[in-house]
Amino acid sequence: MRKLVVANWKMNPASVKEALDLFDKVKKKASTLKNVDTILAPPFAFLGELTCNYSGSKVSFASQDVFWEEGGSYTGEVSVSQIKSIGATYGIVGHSERRALGETDVDVNKKVLALIKEKVTPILCIGESSRDEHGEYLNFLQKEITEGLKSVSKNDIKRVVIAYEPIWAIGKSVRDAMKPDEMHEMKIFIQKTLSELYERSVVSKVPIIYGGSVEPDNARALLEGGEVDGFLVGHASLSVTEFNEILTIVNRA
Ligand code: PEP
């Protein structure tokens, strides 16, 4: 399976000029890579500007969120056909920072289905806020997966990316990120949960990526020991040096 690296810029940078500058440097790097798909998720405000300035085929674009309705009186929301019309081919849904603002599993599921309907690939984020010794967090994750994927057919699941992002590891440093062996266990758990919903042959085609303080210093170990299919990168994606180094590591792995 080809590896994916998704840059979640969140609500950064502050201006379109800075966004274009960052994009330009990442674009150059991405064009040299053979084994990795680079996906940029800039804020909505810059998405159209970046896709317009892009000629070539080595970077794809994702929205950081999307609304499930096709159009109408939904002030502030953005539809799947709108992001698709400006060149996004992926949509992040269920990011923990959206869930913290009130998004439910039912909302996330509606977004997943809306993306699938338009043939835009959902990047479904799941992740527990903390862990407990009784393993209750595993039930929580199972629910996020099962409800997020409700009514997704066995044909369509192949076009979904699962991003496992433990909230306790987000926005910290390498020291606080998940360890490779723990990530490997989580990959097995996610695949087991998926195989309760879909045939095994289909489950093996679903990319499972990791997010939570991925930096150049832990990327290789997480890829090799965690056996992940790529990364969702937050803060390190705003540093050209760090992000491009992560891309190099994933490309070589
Ligand atoms: C994220 O919020 O999606 C994320 C992975 O952030 P960070 O890399 O900063 O932990």
Q: Which atom of ligand 1 is nearest to the CA of 170?
A: 10
Catalytic residue numbers read 95, 165
User: How do residues 214-223 score in pLDDT, each as one tens digit?
Assistant: 999 999 999 9
Domains located in the chain, CATH noted:
3-252 (3.20.20.70)
User: How do residues 85-118 score in pLDDT, each as one tens digit?
Assistant: 999 999 999 999 999 999 999 999 999 999 999 9
Q: Whose CA is nearest to atom 4 of ligand 1?
A: 234
Cβ atoms within 10 Å, residue 120: 20
CB-ligand 1 contact for 230 (6 Å cutoff): no
What is the whole-number distance in angstroms between the Cα of residue 234 and the centre of ligand 1? Answer: 3
What is the whole-number distance in angstroms between the Cα of residue 71 and the centre of ligand 1? Answer: 30
Contact 106, 95 (CB under 8 A): no
Q: Enter the tokens of residue 112.
A: 């997943």
Contact 89, 119 (CB under 8 A): no
Q: Name the residue of 96, 213, 237, 245 whose CB sits within 8 Å of the most ligand 1 atoms, as the mutation to test its pocket.
A: 213
Q: Name the residue of 6, 8, 63 whose CB sits within 8 Å of the most ligand 1 atoms, as the mutation to test its pocket.
A: 8
Which has the minimum average pLDDT: 4-18, 54-68, 185-199? 54-68
- For the entire predicted model, the pTM comes to 0.97
pLDDT value of residue 55: 66
Mean per-residue pLDDT, 162-187: 95
Sign of CA dihedral 84, 88, 94, 97: negative
Q: Which atom of ligand 1 is nearest to the CA of 213?
A: 10
Higher per-residue pLDDT: 52 or 229:
229
User: How do residues 32-60 score in pLDDT, each as one tens digit?
Assistant: 999 999 999 999 999 999 988 776 658 99
What is the phi/psi pair of residue 199, to 5°? -65, 150
CB-ligand 1 contact for 212 (6 Å cutoff): yes
How many angstroms separate the CA atoms of 82 and 219, rounded?
A: 34
Query: Is 233 buried (19+), middle (13-18) or exposed (0-12) by CB count in 10 A?
Result: buried
